[in-house]
Amino acid sequence: MTQSVNLPKVDDFLQELATIQQKGSKRVAILGSRHIPWTHQHLIELLSYAMVLGGDRLITSGATGTNFAAIRGAMRANPDLLTVILPQSLERQPYESREQLENVIHLIEHTENDHLPLAEASAICNQEIISKCQQLICFAYHDSQTLLKTCQDAEEQSKVVTLFYFD
């Protein structure tokens, strides 16, 4: 009996290796759950701060929790290296994050998605974010359907994906 094994393509592996070893600026997306403890938010903020200080361009969305922490760190390091893509208009964002988002230089709103449920608008937004990055760092729970789907889509597009689970 012959078993088939799905091995990554050599080209995909070499592309991932080149991205990891790349010197200079990379386009890194950080996405994750809204509902995370303060200690995790602080670690994510430090990670994004360090990455932007190192010259990486950071892309994220505007939700509370993970994305809020990533924005806070990037804004402290270099606001010009941060791009925030919102799934809907700024007015549809949680009140607690609007003030921070108003200070983002590169802010993209998708008012055309205001009529959609947030989960659907977020899925569309996440697709745009991964299309613009070389690497995705994601913080999720095992039942975070939208985020896990985003990671799977990023892997299918040969992006370097680092997935951290909270649970």
What are the structural domain ranges in the chain?
A: 25-165
3-state secondary structure the chain: CCCCCCCCCHHHHHHHHHHHHCCCCCEEEEEECCCCCHHHHHHHHHHHHHHHHCCCEEEECCCCCHHHHHHHHHHHHCHHHEEEECCCCHHHCCHHHHHHHCCCCEEECCHHHCCCCHHHHHHHHHHHHHHHCCEEEEEECCCCHHHHHHHHHHHHCCCEEEEEECC
pLDDT tens, 57-112? 999 998 889 999 999 999 999 999 999 999 999 999 888 888 899 999 999 999 99
Q: What topology is assigned to 25-165 in CATH?
A: Rossmann fold (3.40.50)
pLDDT tens, 134-155? 999 999 999 999 999 999 999 9
Residue predicted with more confidence, 118 or 5: 118
Percent of the chain with pLDDT over 70: 86
Please indicate, yes or no, whether the overall pTM of this predicted structure exceeds 0.75: yes
